[in-house]
Amino acid sequence: MPPTDDAGFPVGRHPGWPARLGPLITARGAVALRPPRLRDASAWSRARLHDPAYLQQWEPTAIGGWQERNATTAWPAQWAALRGMARRGQALPFSITVDGEFAGQLTIGNIVRGALRSGWIGYWVAEQLAGGGVATAAVALAVDHCFGPVGLHRLEATVRPENQPSVRVLEKSGFRREGLFKRYLDVAGDWRDHYVYALTAEELQEGAVARLVRSGGASRP
């Protein structure tokens, strides 16, 4: 018998991981999800450093300068941490690609099994690819995967009220607003309010991808 972890899964393997999802065809190109690669370093750094203000306004405040934290040399440590969490079944980290090229990241984190079977979803897309349905397609692919092979029951997401593009991404994917977390997270140097959105498997019987395709937001190849 292969060794198992405390969740009862074979070490290094968990339901639905690793996985390659998609593609879905959007206005920006073919959107897919795949596990992060060590060789993503240059493309990841270029996207992160292209326009710091675009991402900094929405991301948690962190120690160190933006240039240092997003340099090519910073990626190996982040990649190793993501891979470690995936192997332990704590997260599902993905690189978002458009026409095969790195375009951003999507992570299902804080995965809890047992009676809860939940996780949270977070994502970012390179500025030059924003507004073309890339994030919406990526979220739809991830939602169906989580409620299918991964076996989760509930997904949550938090978003600042000012971030209307991200609000639209979640609502197009079927998420509903559950409330407002006051002064929830330190973002861009101050404590910011965040909406909390959620979705359960029963609320999306047709699937997020089918919903998106039916609405005309994407198509299957």
From 100, 109, 117, select the one nearest 154 (Cα to Cα). 117
**C-beta of residue 41 within 8 angstroms of C-beta of residue 75:** yes
Q: Model-level pTM greater than 0.85?
A: yes
- Cα separation, 54 vs 62, in Å, equals 16
Interval 34-86: pLDDT, tens: 999 999 999 999 999 998 889 988 988 888 889 999 999 999 999 999 999 99
- For residue 19, the tally of other CB atoms under 10 A from its CB is 16
Interval 149-185: pLDDT, tens: 999 999 999 999 999 999 999 999 999 999 999 999 9
CATH number of 21-215: 3.40.630.30
Interval 196-219: pLDDT, tens: 999 999 998 899 999 999 999 999
**C-beta of residue 42 within 8 angstroms of C-beta of residue 74:** no
Percent of the chain exceeding pLDDT 70 equals 94
- Cα separation, 70 vs 50, in Å, equals 10
Residue 14 has what pLDDT? 83
The mean pLDDT of the chain is 93
